[in-house]
Chain A
Amino acid sequence: MKDHISKSSSQECTLFKRTIPCKKLTIFTGKGGVGKTVLSLAYYFALKEKNKNVLYISFDPTCDQELINQLGVNHHVININSCVQTYITRKLGSSKIASWIMGTSFFKAIFNVVPLISNMMFVGEIMDLAKQNEDLYLVLDSPSSGHVLTLIESPFIFKSIVKTGVLANDIEELQSFITNPKQIEVFISSIPSHMSLIEASELKKQIQDITQIIPLIIANNLLSLIPFSKTTALPDFLERKIALEKIVINEHEDKIDYKIAHHPKTNLVHVINEITKALV
């Protein structure tokens, strides 16, 4: 299968203080409020500083919309209904049939209990966006409560039950796309707690096993990286928090690829700018 996007991925840029090839698709994932949106927006702006043509993709339209509008981001929201409609229409050659199928109670009943189908369609949509424009870079902000893992696994799971036919061929294309380390980079964000870092490292292994992409783990929101001098008088609770954080980071040192400091949350735009500067 022709590799449409190899041209852009061979360009290099300095991000995260290292020179790396810019990947076509950069995914930010991690469970809970670990800073995915702030990090993906900072990365978006870092790429723009390097004069790249970038698209920020997300799943939750309502939250953070104000922030995104304020920043003037080139934004694409993945919406389940339009995704499915587009795919079925394309496969069966008629949007009328697609609408009819999606309207039947039978389809709805199955669709509601099988997230596999919608996950696969999401991957398809992301792949379509990637193919549309050779010079376009994509930054994907994963759904807040789900891991990107369910998205990544979906074509593999589906392939194991649909072995032949038109759909099977499509699925192979999705598998090929989602497992290409030359085109895709994954950052797993975590906060400096045991549970979060354990969860991040489990997720890393799961993604690696399926795709051969090696995700990078970011320990985000570190108080211990705020540049206080040794003589600064800090309250007891903060001293203990920072001490505990250092113990946790130390214990999981081998898992962590990057560390990002805590930035006071009053102004998210400001936080994003600070992190963008730190990246570039």
Chain B
Amino acid sequence: MKKIEVKSIDIFCGTGGVGKTTIATSRAIWLAQQNKKVLLITIDPSKRLKQIIGLCDRDEGEIIPITLESNNTRSISFDAMLMSPSVSLKKIMKLSPASSFSNRIIEILFRSNGGMNELMSVIEVQKHLISKKYDTIVLDTPPGKHFLDFLGSASKIQQFFENNFIEIFTGLKNSLSGKKSQFNIIKNIANAGINKILEYLERVTGKNFINDFINALNTIYTHKDVFLDAINFQQLLKKSTHSNWFLVTSASQNKVEQASMLTDKSKQLIHDDNFIIINKSLIEDLNKWNIDNSTNDKKTNQSLHCLKESMIMHEKKIKDVLQNKGTIISFPEIIDTTPENHVKELSLMWRNFCVSSDR
């Protein structure tokens, strides 16, 4: 089986509720135990990472050093971050994270579910990659299609920051505030298109909205260099030398077609040297389960056999459907009470799949 190597970025994706955050955290712990400098970022707006490593809402957008105690080795240290698109933007605009945006549209656009989450995450990851402070950045991504948004951020950035738009909006803003601007004929024609849209829009939304809207765009355009830099991230994702990506699916869920589609669509934007993690696998225990027909009545035996067979077949189906989509690795279901213990136990499993460390 192909072993997992240490790379600059480890990305975990998958449909909702499969255990991405838990598995990603276990990966961060494993790498930290191999003496690697790790940054674990969760981009998922639901921020389940808080429950696992004891962070709170106040910590959003900042790098927090984490130390976990371990029974048998010394303590485990890594950095973690709860992604916040608004805090990221405030840092770019040199505002304090505690301040509010004056433009309501910006405030809404840059909320966790406002649409700019994936884009700002790319910028944030790029920033930390360039700093070279970490051996590996571990990314826990939002469920399903949002991962595709994350991968496709570069083209969105290109669309959004098309030169035409920037010049036109600067021109529009100037004309709104009474300043003169210079346009050549070609720009006027393109300008006419946008003017027309805004005219229609004004009919339905009122003039104030349009002003706020233009101001919001302008604010973003002022920092276009930071956004445009993030396009380079796309190039990184095409090369398997710089990143590992893991599609996580759960043995207990019924989402194998979605997992398959997500993998296929992702490969249009990222390299195809990926791993498929079947999480919460019970196959070993299921195969060891011997039903002693003599101890129960016929009806109970029937339902036990039915339960066992259905669970085995279900897991087998997942393996069958996904076997050609990447290298399959399984993580067993950990039946443990606390999220922290759960994640520590999972971290031990990485030993089976990784290239031996250089401890």
Q: List A residues at the B interface (Cβ < 8 Å).
A: 31-34, 62-63, 91-92, 97, 101, 104-110, 112-116, 144-145, 150, 157, 160-168, 191, 194-196, 198-199, 202, 221, 226, 228-229, 231-238, 240-241, 244, 247, 264-266, 268
Chain A's nearest CB lies how many Å from the CB of B18? Answer: 7
Q: How far is the CA of A195 from the CA of B21 in the complex (A)?
A: 11
Are A101 and B335 interface neighbours, CB within 8 A? no
What residues of B have a CB within 8 angstroms of the CB of A194 in the complex? Answer: 51, 339
What residues of B have a CB within 8 angstroms of the CB of A238 in the complex? Answer: 289
Name the 5 nearest CB pairs between A and B, nearest first: A32-B17, A32-B16, A33-B253, A145-B144, A264-B310
Chain B's nearest CB lies how many Å from the CB of A169? Answer: 10
What residues of B have a CB within 8 angstroms of the CB of A237 in the complex? Answer: 282, 285, 289, 335
Chain A's nearest CB lies how many Å from the CB of B68? Answer: 18
List CB contacts (< 8 Å) of B18-49 with chain A. Answer: 18, 46, 48
The stretch of B175-183, B192-200, B231-239, B347-355 that contacts the partner chain: B192-200
Q: How far is the CA of A114 from the CA of B119 in the complex (A)?
A: 12
Are B292 and A31 interface neighbours, CB within 8 A? no
Are B204 and A166 interface neighbours, CB within 8 A? yes
Instruction: Answer whether residue B113 sits at the interface, using C-beta atoms and an 8 A cutoff.
Output: yes
Instruction: Answer whether residue B300 sits at the interface, using C-beta atoms and an 8 A cutoff.
Output: yes
Q: How far is the CA of A113 from the CA of B309 in the complex (A)?
A: 45
What residues of B have a CB within 8 angstroms of the CB of A31 in the complex? Answer: 16-17, 46, 143
Instruction: Answer whether residue B104 sits at the interface, using C-beta atoms and an 8 A cutoff.
Output: yes
* Beta-carbon nearest neighbor of A160 in chain B: B104
Are B292 and A233 interface neighbours, CB within 8 A? yes
Chain B's nearest CB lies how many Å from the CB of A266? Answer: 5
Find B306's partner among A106, A166, A264 (CB 8 Å cutoff).
A264
What residues of B have a CB within 8 angstroms of the CB of A163 in the complex? Answer: 206, 208-209
Q: A33-B250, A164-B208, A235-B288 are in contact. List 8 more A-B contacts (CB 8 A).
A: A32-B253, A33-B253, A105-B159, A112-B159, A145-B145, A228-B300, A238-B289, A266-B313
* Beta-carbon nearest neighbor of A38 in chain B: B254
Main secondary structure of the interface of A (DSSP, over half): helix
The stretch of B59-67, B88-96, B131-139, B255-263 that contacts the partner chain: B255-263
Q: How far is the CA of A163 from the CA of B212 in the complex (A)?
A: 12
Instruction: Answer whether residue B314 sits at the interface, using C-beta atoms and an 8 A cutoff.
Output: yes
| 22 A-B residue pairings within 8 Å (CB atoms) | A32-B16, A32-B253, A33-B15, A33-B252, A63-B258, A92-B203, A92-B204, A97-B200, A104-B197, A106-B165, A106-B194, A109-B159, A112-B159, A145-B143, A157-B108, A160-B108, A202-B46, A228-B303, A233-B292, A233-B295, A237-B285, A266-B314
**1/0 contact string of B333-355 vs chain A (CB within 8 Å):** 10111010000000000000000
Find B109's partner among A34, A114, A247 (CB 8 Å cutoff).
A114
Are B51 and A195 interface neighbours, CB within 8 A? yes
Q: How far is the CA of A142 from the CA of B108 in the complex (A)?
A: 23
Find A161's partner among B15, B48, B105 (CB 8 Å cutoff).
B105
Instruction: Answer whether residue B304 sits at the interface, using C-beta atoms and an 8 A cutoff.
Output: yes
With A113-B116, A244-B335 as given contacts, are A144 and B15 in contact (CB-CB < 8 Å)?
yes
Are A144 and B16 interface neighbours, CB within 8 A? yes
Q: How far is the CA of A7 from the CA of B156 in the complex (A)?
A: 47
Are A229 and B300 interface neighbours, CB within 8 A? yes
Chain A's nearest CB lies how many Å from the CB of B270? Answer: 18
